[in-house]
Structures are given as C-alpha cells and as structure tokens.
Amino acid sequence: MAGIAVLCAGNLGGGVYVALNADDERGTSRNAASRTQSPPTGVPGGPVANVADERQVAPLRRVVPPDVLAVSRGGPIGRAEIARIGKLRRVQDVIAVAGGAVQLQGRGINTFAVDPSQFRSWTPPGTAKRNELWEALAAGRFVVSTAAADQLRLAQGTRYPVVARTVPQLEMGGSGTLGLPGIDMLVDRKTGTDMGLVPNVAVMVNAPGVDTAKLAGSVKRILGRDADVVNLHERRYQAPAEAGGRPGSYLDLYKEAARSCPGLSWTVLAAIGQVESDHGRNAGRSSAGALGPMQFLPSTWRSYGVDGDGDGKADIMNPYDAIPAASRYLCAHGGGKGGRQLYKAIWAYNHADWYVQKVLNLARAYAVRYD
C-alpha cells in the first residue's frame, strides 16, 4: 500500500474520537523535520522503567494514569511541542508513541506502536500487571482490546496478515482492556517501524491534581487544529470493566471495594488513594515504612490484607488487593456508619485531623464530579 489509511469511523471499541494518519503521497506535514528523529523515550523526570535487554519486559513499578490523549492528523508531533507539553503546570509524565490505522481481518483498526516496558504503566491496572501480554508484545506479537478480539474472532497464537505499508503475518499475543477508547491494537516499536506507522503521532499526558479540561485546552493550543485532544476523564472515555466483570480502572476498583462495606462511599476510598499514593503513582515505601497504593504498614497488612483478585496471595503492592483491604480496614473501624464514626475510621487510618479533613474534602469533590 502507498500509505496507511485514515480511520475516522466504525471503531471496534465503540466510537472513534481520533484519526490516525501515515505519510502518503499528499506531501510533507508541518512537522516534516521531525521525521528523521527517533521517538523520544518518554517522560520529563525519567522513563517509567529501564531494561538492558529490549526483548525483556521490566516489572511494573508504578501506575501512570493518562489524563489527556492527543493525536495528530497532520504527521508526527515535533519534539519541541512535546517538550512544551511537558512544561505545562503540574504535568508529571508525557509519553509519545507511533501509530496509524491498519487493516486486520478486513476491518480498520487504530494501532499504537509502543515500548512494552514503558507503555504498560499507562494502561488500566489489571492490564498493566499481566506480564504475559507485555512479554508477547516484546516478542513481536500483537495485542488487541477485548472488543477487537471478540468482534474479529481472533485466536491467541494464530497468525494474521496485518495490512499497512507492508503486510506482515503477525501472531496474536493476547487481549485486554487498553483503557484508550478508539485504540484497539498494540505492536512493539520495531514492528510499527516495519509497518510504516507514523512516529510520534500521539502523546499521552499525566498531570496529577489538575483540572483535566483546562489541561486538554492547553495541549490543544500547543498542537493546534491539526490535532485531536481528548480529556480522558470525561465519563464516555472511562475504561470499562474487563471481561468477567473485573474492574478496568482505579475508579472501578474504588467503587467495587466500597460495596464490601455497606454505608461506605467509594469516594472516601478514592480520596485516601489520592492522598496516599496519587492512585498508585507513588506506591513506594514511605518514611514511616508504609507500602503500596494505599500505603499500609506491613504489620497492619498482616491483619487486614485481602486477596482481592483471587491469585492466591494478598499483595500489598497490588491495587486489586490493597484497595479492598483499605475498605476492610475502614469498615472494621466503623467507616460504614458515617458521621463521627467515619471521621474516627479515617483518623485510625492516619492519626491526624488535617488528614481526615483533607480526605473528607476530596471525597466531597469526587462526589460532585462523578456521582
């Protein structure tokens, strides 16, 4: 094919909000100079993970929930523009990826070419922790969204022709919730280059605690009219639950965990998750020795730890275990009774009145925003 087609409608995941382009005979874009540059490794402040052997996948060290996604309709996004986005107020992480619209089983499918060790941190927690998906991607296989796997009737381990600038026969390595509506397929960087995907065609931005609508507006002003910019916190873009009802995002995890404690609002768990680790972004050991996305002391974890995902162990670092454990702890201290009892339960979680006030204020803000 002369180029990769533009995909504008009929997306497998339930609605396209971006159009991904590849270079074609129409000529050079406004960012033509950047085409000779290799894609940046990602984020201001350092990459999410480093590995010595590109065939190996680094372990998941933190979660980086994307707040804004921007996709260029005019060619690669320039390095200068990416740098400007990284300097916006409170932006903590930026990652640039290659992409394009290819054909699989006769259907158009928006595809990103990514570094598995980096990109896994930007996906929903249930997908991020699945080493087998990222190892398959690193080995040159492709990974698709659950919707694409179902609708195209794809079988793991089977090879399929993928029609792009070249037509490689690629093996399906697995499927899962990707958390990016409109994007239904991932390949590794080398495969993407061989297929002719556009370098730096999209950027994802993580900016804890900002007004994401304003952030999206700032990114749009930097990239101009040739880019589609999406606030991923809009309700229609929230990641769906995974197959079998498994939560697909931190928001889903908080809501599910709260159900185990009648009377406890999920907004309290979300507020604690924000204060303690910024929803898994800073889950390392604190100065007091607490660990994980909900920052449990190991001694407390021994009493309240939960095997939330049924994998046979209660892992203090795993949000699927830590968030229901926080619900269990709050419930045991009267958190489901509301009022003064809820105040005492939060105080038991962290013995400081300022902490309780901050959690309650954030919980009210979550209720206004999402309920």
What's the CA dihedral at 111, 99, 181, 93 to 10 degrees?
130
d(CA 327, CA 306): 10
Strands 227-231 and 185-188: unpaired
Q: Rounded to the nearest 10 degrees, how much is the dihedral formed by the CA atoms of 70, 74, 76, 79?
A: -70
Residue-level pLDDT at 311: 76
293 with 319: CB under 8 angstroms? yes
- pLDDT, tens digit only, all 371 positions of the chain: 223 333 333 445 444 334 454 443 333 333 333 322 333 333 233 322 222 233 578 888 777 888 899 999 878 999 999 999 999 988 989 999 999 999 999 889 999 999 999 999 999 888 888 899 999 999 999 999 988 998 899 999 999 999 999 999 999 999 998 888 789 999 999 999 999 999 999 999 988 778 889 999 999 999 998 899 999 877 666 655 554 445 557 888 899 999 999 999 999 999 999 999 888 877 788 888 999 999 999 999 999 999 987 878 899 988 889 999 999 999 999 999 999 999 999 999 999 999 999 999 999 988 887 76
For 303, counting Cβ atoms within 10 Å of its Cβ (0-12 exposed, 13-18 middle, 19+ buried), the class is exposed
Q: At which residue do the structure tokens 């309290």 appear?
A: 268
Helices (H), the chain: 79-86, 116-119, 125-128, 131-138, 146-151, 189-195, 212-223, 250-258, 266-277, 298-304, 319-332, 339-349, 353-370
CB burial string 142-177: b at 16+ within 10 A, e below: bbbbbbbbebbebeeeeebebbbbeebebebbbbbb
Could you tell me the two tokens for 128? 């991020």
